[in-house]
């Protein structure tokens, strides 16, 4: 086998359609020599169908990141397909509609708690569930959307992403002694299923396509996926707690 991830075994979450960043990660990972196991929840048959579109059909296991039993059994279920893991990709996020589209001041705690549980706390939960399968040199990589600013319509998901970015730094701190890295990729806006669920998402689209120094393609997931692969590879052995921006340079310019 040859490629950037030759011999690597990866667990990839968040594949819903072939337009998702996670699908692009799984596809490129396989093309670069990795074995891939996918997770799905709710629409498992859909994920299984999408998995067949990869260069090599990938096994799919059910994982609800808010279900303690699913997390407790994750290592055993992954071992049915691979004998260990070298990397975990966290591409999971959800917020009830009350938490998005301008509802920041009115969203009830119950909905906010759901957003934080699924989108933030699950980063740590997934990493710990996979930890028995990992050894020194392993990597956890998550997807974020620049949380240094308050974005119109993003509301509590923005807060959840800020928590995710902090959680990644703390995971880097606590897992570093075991030789495991934790990094995030901050992708610009992409037309995924998740994006379509955000009312007013077109505000992001217009801003990026007009002002990103390198330009921005709203339908090209590959640049973000490539960054994930680089962070999962052995080419960043001393990088952890980092956020790599893949947004055409938008984050670097003034408002």
The DSSP code sequence of 3-58 is STTTT-EEEE---SSTTSHHHHHHHHHHHTT-EEEEEE-S-HHHHHHHHTTSSS--
Residue linked to tokens 């799919």: 60
Q: At what angle do helices 109-116 and 155-175 cross, to 10 degrees?
A: 40
**The pLDDT value given to residue 195:** 63
Task: Give residue 146's region: left, alpha or beta (phi > 0; psi -120 to 50).
Answer: beta
Helices (H) and strands (E) in the chain, counts: 9, 7
- Is 170 in the active site? no
Task: List the catalytic residue out of 154, 170, 177, 250.
Answer: 154
Q: Which of 17, 20, 12, 56 is nearest to 38 (CA)?
A: 12
Q: What is the distance between the terminal CA atoms of the chain, rounded to a whole angstrom?
A: 46
- Return the biggest CA–CA distance within the chain: 53
Sort strands 181-187 and 243-246 into parallel, antiparallel or unpaired.
parallel
Query: Is residue 154 annotated as part of the catalytic site, yes or no?
Result: yes
Dump pLDDT digits (tens) for 1-44. 569 999 999 999 999 899 999 999 999 999 999 999 999 998 88
Rounded to 10 degrees, the C-alpha dihedral 25/31/35/38 comes to 30
Question: Average model confidence (pLDDT) for the chain?
Answer: 94
Contact, 104 vs 146, CB < 8 A? no
pLDDT value, residue 193: 66
Helix (H/G/I), strand (E/B), else coil: 90? strand
Q: What is the pLDDT of residue 137?
A: 97
Q: 74 - beta bridge partners?
A: none
Q: What are the φ/ψ torsions at residue 117 (nearest 5 degrees)?
A: -65, -50
Tokens 């933030």 belong to 120
Catalytic residue among 52, 161, 170, 196: 161
Contact assessment for residue 169 and residue 181, using Cβ atoms and an 8 Å cutoff:
no
Q: Report residues of the chain scoring pLDDT below 70.
A: 1-2, 193-200, 255
């Amino acid at each position: 086998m040859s490629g950037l991830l030759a011999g690597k075994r990866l667990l990839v979450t968040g594949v819903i359609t072939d337009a998702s960043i996670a699908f692009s990660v799984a596809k490129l990972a396989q093309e670069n020599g990795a074995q891939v196991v996918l997770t799905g929840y709710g629409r498992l048959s859909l994920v299984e169908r999408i998995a067949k579109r990869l260069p090599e059909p990938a096994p799919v296991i059910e994982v609800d990141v808010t279900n303690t039993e699913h997390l407790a059994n994750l290592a055993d279920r992954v071992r049915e397909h691979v004998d260990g893991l070298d990397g975990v990709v966290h591409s999971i996020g959800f917020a009830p509609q009350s938490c998005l589209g301008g509802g920041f001041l009115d969203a009830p705690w119950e909905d906010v708690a759901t957003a934080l549980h699924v989108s933030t706390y699950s980063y740590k939960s997934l990493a710990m569930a996979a930890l028995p399968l990992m050894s020194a040199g392993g990597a956890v990589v998550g997807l974020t959307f620049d949380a240094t600013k308050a974005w119109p319509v993003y509301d509590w998901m923005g807060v959840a992403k800020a928590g995710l970015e902090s959680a990644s730094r703390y995971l880097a701190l606590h897992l570093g002694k075991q030789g495991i890295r934790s990094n995030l990729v901050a992708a610009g806006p992409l037309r995924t299923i998740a994006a379509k669920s955000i009312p007013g998402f077109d505000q992001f689209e217009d801003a990026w396509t007009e002002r990103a120094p390198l330009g921005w393609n709203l339908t090209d997931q590959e640049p973000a996926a490539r960054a994930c692969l680089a962070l999962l590879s052995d080419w960043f052995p001393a990088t952890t707690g980092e956020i790599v921006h893949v947004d055409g340079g938008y984050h670097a310019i003034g408002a």
